[in-house]
């Protein structure tokens, strides 16, 4: 099942995508909360996904996908947790040691836009770098998970361009400021439930293109810390809640280690593609 978020009548709504059509979740599950985070909690994903997909296929209430104003699939997550330096070749390209514990930092919701929206290069810097990332969306409240049962809390997966303002990222010992410029990254286009990815999250091709030129081309099996390991580790410290988002790190091929360095510039069309999940496409603009 594939869930999208879109703006309708001034508010965010969730729908099930069936090809080029969308079935509003409210038409499939009457009484479902309108708020996307509350709706994800009420859906009991991933267990309910097959039944919801069948009901959506039989539902006559549909609208064209074209023309909808798409939002990040979780427009206002309770938490956006990010993992840094999580691909072996990416750590190597930046001359970083392989970590023995995940590098964890947070992003705010205002730092991310949805599919087809503009990623903004800030006035303060011209060093806005790309980062293709697999995203985990949490479907149920969980704490103290083992790696063996970690995937049971996953509602689905999505894509992120975890844009990084590199000079600001290095202005202090913490990466936070360089990761939180308004609209400097993107998230989408949809949440794909685990049943659509039978090979699992750590056997997926992940790539990024700038104006059609491939910059990153890897596989999630190059992760240092697997998806189950990430979830289990985070759950030692924090309660994972429905709608929480975890960005799992980027593979090699980012812009700053290149000779010369290369960054996203206004007019660029940047596409993140993850096998089985889809393509997240955005255009770069300068801050007004």
User: How high is the mean pLDDT of the chain?
Assistant: 96
Q: Which of 22, 46, 71 is the last residue of a domain?
A: 71
| Section 254-258 average pLDDT | 96
pLDDT value for 10:
87
Distance CA 219, CA 24 (A): 33
| Section 112-129 average pLDDT | 98
In this structure, what DSSP letter does residue 203 have? S
Name the domain count of the chain: 2
pLDDT value for 8:
87
Distance CA 37, CA 73 (A): 10
State the CATH number of the domain containing residue 162: 3.90.850.10
Q: Which of 48, 71, 94 is the last residue of a domain?
A: 71
Which residue, 85, 231, 223, is CA-closest to 149? 231
Distance CA 140, CA 45 (A): 7
Q: What is the dihedral of CA 251, 170, 83, 111, to 10 degrees?
A: -100
Which residue, 142, 138, 143, is CA-closest to 74? 138
pLDDT value for 1:
96
Q: Are residues 140 and 244 in the same domain?
A: yes
Question: Residues 190-205: pLDDT tens digits?
Answer: 999 999 999 999 999 9
Q: Are residues 179 and 278 in the same domain?
A: yes
pLDDT value for 95:
87
Which of 35-39, 132-136, 172-176 holds the top average pLDDT? Answer: 132-136
Q: Are residues 96 and 52 in the same domain?
A: no
195: its two tokens: 């049943």
Q: Which of 71, 100, 126 is the last residue of a domain?
A: 71
pLDDT value for 152:
96
Domain around 60: 2-71
| pTM of structure | 0.96
Confidence of residue 34 (pLDDT cuts 50, 70, 90): confident
């Amino acid at each position: 099942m594939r869930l999208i978020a879109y703006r309708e009548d001034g508010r965010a709504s969730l729908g099930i995508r069936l090809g080029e059509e969308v079935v509003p979740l409210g038409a499939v599950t009457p009484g479902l909360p309108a708020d996307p985070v509350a709706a994800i909690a009420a859906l009991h994903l991933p267990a309910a996904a097959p039944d919801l997909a069948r009901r959506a296929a039989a539902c006559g209430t549909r609208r064209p996908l074209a023309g909808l104003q798409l939002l990040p699939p979780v427009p206002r997550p309770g938490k956006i947790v990010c993992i840094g330096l999580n691909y072996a070749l990416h750590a190597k390209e930046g001359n970083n040691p392989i970590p023995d514990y995940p590098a964890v930092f947070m992003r705010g919701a205002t730092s991310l836009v949805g599919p087809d929206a503009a990623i903004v290069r800030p006035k303060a810097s011209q060093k806005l770098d790309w980062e293709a990332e697999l995203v985990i969306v949490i479907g149920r409240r969980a704490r103290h998970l083992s790696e063996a049962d970690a995937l049971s809390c996953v509602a689905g997966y999505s894509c992120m361009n975890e844009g990084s303002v590199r000079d600001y990222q290095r202005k202090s010992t913490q990466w936070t400021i360089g990761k939180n410029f308004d609209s400097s990254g993107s998230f989408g286009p949809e949440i794909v439930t685990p049943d659509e990815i039978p090979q699992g999250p750590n056997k997926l091709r992940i790539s990024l293109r700038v104006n059609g030129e491939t910059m990153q081309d890897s596989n999630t099996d190059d992760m240092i810390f697997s998806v189950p390991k990430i979830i289990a580790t985070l759950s030692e410290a924090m309660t994972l809640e429905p709608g929480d988002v975890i960005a799992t790190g980027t593979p090699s091929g980012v812009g700053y280690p290149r000779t010369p360095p290369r960054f996203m510039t206004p007019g660029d069309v940047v596409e993140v593609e993850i096998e089985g999940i889809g393509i997240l496409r955005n255009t770069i603009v300068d801050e007004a």
